Amino acid sequence: MNEMIPGQLDPHIQGSAFRNEAGESPKPSTMKNMTCIEDLRRVARRKVPRAFFGYAEAGSYSGETLRANRADLERVKLRQRVLVDVSARNTSTMILGESSALPIALAPIGIGGLQRGNGEILACRAAHAAGIPYTLGTMAICSIEDVAAAVEKPFWFQLYVMRDRGFARSLVERAAAAKCSALVLTVDLQVLGQRHADIKNGLSVPPSLKIKNLINMATKPGWVCRMLAGKRWTFGNVAGHVTGKEGVKALSEWIAHQFDPTLNWKDVEWIRSIWPGKLIIKGILDVEDAKLATKTGAAAIVVSNHGGRQLDGAMSSVSMLPRIAEAVGSEIEVMFDGGIRSGQDVMRALALGARSCLIGRAYIYGLGAGGQAGVATAIEIIRKELDITMALTGVRSINEIDRSVLIS
Ligand SMILES: Cc1cc2nc3c(=O)[nH]c(=O)nc-3n(C[C@H](O)[C@H](O)[C@H](O)COP(=O)(O)O)c2cc1C
């Protein structure tokens, strides 16, 4: 990869970010034409079995909120400024008091390890090599312990509070034992949103992949080989930790009954009391909820509608961001996600009050397209776009980005 774009790489991502899972530099031809996230998406669509690619793409029900996330971001227009000396630019910032090479972190993605064998480990390595945080999801294929053993720096862990509070507590303890540097508590999945494509593809409870999906998988030998070599294809954080539940079918049934509609602010208090580190509350889309979140002792909130996968018909994340940031931005760190596919989008979110952004599908496409090198490419694409966008809007550092970079 270093050979691919001579002289243009950020020092943060040279080296291991551009090595594949076997530790080799990928062939220049593999990723050299990937100039935008859409390129990675197209390759991922080719390489990843249809059911799993569809799972990553989909939104809930009619996809109204999924589409609004993108459409509303694109409506935010940047202000072109000229004759400002922008020769010295810096994309680094602080996220939760720690320095980050970019104002982005990788979002938690359930069963991300089905986009590519050992996917969570690969994504975490790419994030760390790029100098940004990575979030491992409760519903990951690789377990907390798998990832901790495979990387050198702490990562964030995302928690779903299950009905079985003993299990939830054990996840928190395992995250603490693995020295996770933040706990991301997802609060917008008290019941599961429905994605039509998943049901049609057999990604239901219990899973029942259709013959057509199995045939489709057989047409992706690279994916199959990597999955077999990776040796991980179940819910890594759950398997072996719930008595009497073995096998993907039993585990998925157990999990489906574990999402808890009783989840409430008292549970957040409880999590706060058992988690000693930084807490991020993810899935806030309402000013009232944001204000309640400031009273919990959490370090940050993520303004998010779960990438349009939960309440269909909800407002886009970006349309709620300014109101929420205005209401609570001085009391709690405001993060943002939903629809980010470019550095321009990161700039838009920062200008509207976010201090940093999570990216979801943008890196998942990279993972499906090229494993660790693909995630590194996704991060590098966004870094370069952000850097160029900063130059063309006349800003040199992340903390200079505010409403003034937008057409009001
Ligand atoms: C395939 C997929 C799986 C996801 N799984 C989780 C999850 O397990 N936990 C969670 O908190 N959010 C999950 N999310 C939501 C993301 O963390 C994030 O909020 C969302 O992807 C942001 O939108 P974007 O994909 O448009 O960037 C998932 C999103 C996708 C696309």
| Region class of 95: left (phi > 0), else alpha (psi between -120 and 50), else beta | beta
**What's the pLDDT score for residue 209?**
81
**What's the pLDDT score for residue 246?**
81
**Confidence band for 208, pLDDT divided at 50, 70 and 90:** confident
Please write the tens of the pLDDT for every residue from 143-159.
999 999 999 999 999 99
Please write the tens of the pLDDT for every residue from 239-263.
998 888 888 889 989 999 999 999 9
Please tell me the distance between residue 63's alpha carbon and the centre of ligand 1 in angstroms.
Answer: 14
| In contact, 97 and 181? CB cutoff 8 Å | no
Please tell me the distance between residue 3's alpha carbon and the centre of ligand 1 in angstroms.
Answer: 32
**142 DSSP 8-state letter:** S
**What's the pLDDT score for residue 29?**
54
Please tell me the distance between residue 108's alpha carbon and the centre of ligand 1 in angstroms.
Answer: 6
The answer to whether the predicted template modeling score (pTM) of the entire model surpasses 0.95 is: no
What are the C-alpha distances in Å from 89 to residues 53, 156, 373? 36, 28, 25
Please tell me the distance between residue 306's alpha carbon and the centre of ligand 1 in angstroms.
Answer: 5
Residue 6 has pLDDT above 80, yes or no: no
Ligand 1 neighbourhood includes 368 CB (under 6 angstroms): no
**What's the pLDDT score for residue 90?**
98
- Cβ-Cβ contacts under 8 Å for 240 (sequence gap 6 or more): none
| In contact, 353 and 335? CB cutoff 8 Å | no
Ligand 1 neighbourhood includes 337 CB (under 6 angstroms): yes
Per DSSP, which regions of 118-274 are E strands? Answer: 135-136, 156-159, 182-186
Which of 263, 335, 359, 361 most suits a substitution to test ligand 1, by most atoms within 8 Å of the C-beta? Answer: 361
- Summary mean pLDDT of the chain: 92
In ligand 1, the atom with minimum distance to the C-alpha of 140 is 8
Ligand 1 neighbourhood includes 195 CB (under 6 angstroms): no
Phi, psi for 279 (deg, rounded to 5)? -115, 135
In ligand 1, the atom with minimum distance to the C-alpha of 306 is 19
Residue 8 has pLDDT above 80, yes or no: no
Residue nearest to atom 8 of ligand 1 (CA): 110
Residue nearest to atom 10 of ligand 1 (CA): 108
Report d(CA 242, CA 248) in Å as an integer: 12
Residue nearest to atom 15 of ligand 1 (CA): 306
pLDDT mean over 15-26: 44
Ligand 1 neighbourhood includes 110 CB (under 6 angstroms): yes
Please tell me the distance between residue 69's alpha carbon and the centre of ligand 1 in angstroms.
Answer: 13
In ligand 1, the atom with minimum distance to the C-alpha of 56 is 1
Ligand 1 neighbourhood includes 139 CB (under 6 angstroms): yes
Please tell me the distance between residue 307's alpha carbon and the centre of ligand 1 in angstroms.
Answer: 6
Residue 14 has pLDDT above 70, yes or no: no
**What's the pLDDT score for residue 270?**
98
In ligand 1, the atom with minimum distance to the C-alpha of 337 is 22
**What's the pLDDT score for residue 49?**
96
Please write the tens of the pLDDT for every residue from 276-313.
999 999 999 999 999 999 999 999 999 999 999 999 99
Q: For the chain, what percent of residues have pLDDT higher than 70? A: 93
Residue 212 has pLDDT above 50, yes or no: yes
Chain centroid to CA 316: 17
Element (H, E) at 266: helix 265-274
In ligand 1, the atom with minimum distance to the C-alpha of 70 is 26
| In contact, 371 and 125? CB cutoff 8 Å | no
Please write the tens of the pLDDT for every residue from 41-67.
999 999 999 999 999 999 999 999 999
Residue 358 has pLDDT above 90, yes or no: yes
Structure tokens at 332: 């709690």
Ranges 14-23, 126-135, 245-254, 364-373: which has the least confidence: 14-23
Q: Is 306 a catalytic residue?
A: yes
**Confidence band for 81, pLDDT divided at 50, 70 and 90:** very high
| In contact, 200 and 109? CB cutoff 8 Å | no
Ligand 1 neighbourhood includes 353 CB (under 6 angstroms): no
